Amino acid sequence: MTRIHYTKPSITDLEVAYATDAARNGWGEKCYEYIGRFETAFARHLGVKHAVATSSCTGAIHLGLAALGVGAGDEVILADINWIASVAPVIYLGATPVMVDILPDTWCLDPAKVEAAITPRTKAIIAVHIYGNLCDMDALLAIGERYGIPVIEDAAEAIGSQWRGQRAGSMGRFGTFSFHGTKTITTGEGGMFVTNDDALFERVLTLSNHGRARGQTKQFWPDEVGFKYKMSNIQAAIGLAQVERIEELIEGKRRVFSQYQRELAGLPLTMNPEPEGCVNGYWMPTIVVDGAVSFTRDGLLAEFKANEIDGRVFFWPLSELPYFPSRPDNTVAHDIYRRAINLPTYHDMATQDIQHVCEIVRRLLRAKDD
């Protein structure tokens, strides 16, 4: 039996050719050539003015928050259900994360809870588009406008997702993306900072290069202490090839999700939503089993393992981690993760493999109903 991995990238001769060219020729005056081409192509795809390639999405968030002046004494609001990468930069800068509850249908920030959590110390709102699902950007941007608070999009998992004609990551004060090996497009490790704000772009550009401003004429003269979050030219070469294939890669993810949705129809569960007027890139097909059903995600994961299938747990609530304050009032977040699991997905996943995964889900849930 061939193992069904939970995800894997799509690498073709194009990626290999670009990476080979970068390895052979991308040195000296060409050492940033693929980085520039990748940034330009990605910005064009999103419809934004500026993009800065980074070593990770975490680094991109760190740069953006630092450029906004987030620091000690400030608060940053984000959803309780998230991977640690979304909140770690807040801690790096000495600010306080404020974790609020999620909506039961999108698993993203609840705008009403966001507004209720705002204080005079609130410096930013991080809208994480989890698993490709979209935050309610109309509501969040309106809240940000009303209180003068920037809304940031963590679109690490949302390549291919669109909110009413605008691509995820292009709507907030800035957006960030991940190109980890599990993502819809990959550079192995890597990320991207994007913005339409000229001044913020220049600030991030300076911070990302050890604090050396673009116009500085003195060699090796940092204008301030910055960071080192650059992506390598070879990684960017792979990324450029992926962006040139991006519609194909997005369509691959959507095809896999559509088959899961058909195969699992009628079972007591819900999956990633696609609200009217929106497009979901479906980075990670996810099931949330109805609360009335006796179900344990560990039980399903054990069945997967016995059948050579990988699965992923739904993210834990951050407030369950011992180094963050407990938030038992975030009742949706503390309920939903126990009933949810990510299903395997990759661009060229075979129909029979999807069917095999779904057979096990059906068998387990029907057994619970009997």
Which residues are identified as catalytic? 183
In DSSP notation, 191-222 reads EEEEES-HHHHHHHHHHTBTT--TT--STT--
Q: Which residues contact 229 (CB under 8 A, 6 or more apart)?
A: 54, 55, 56, 59, 60, 62, 63, 208
Dihedral sign for Cα atoms in the order 216, 221, 225, 227 = positive
Beta-bridged to residue 151, according to DSSP, are 125
DSSP code, position 344: P
**Residue 76: closest CA among 128, 34, 25:** 128
**Residue 270: closest CA among 280, 278, 260:** 260
CA–CA separation, 125 vs 111, rounded Å?
10
Beta-bridged to residue 340, according to DSSP, are 288
162-163 vs 191-195, strand pairing mode: unpaired
C-beta separation of 230 from 209 below 8 A: yes
Q: Which residues contact 24 (CB under 8 A, 6 or more apart)?
A: none
CA–CA separation, 107 vs 48, rounded Å?
26
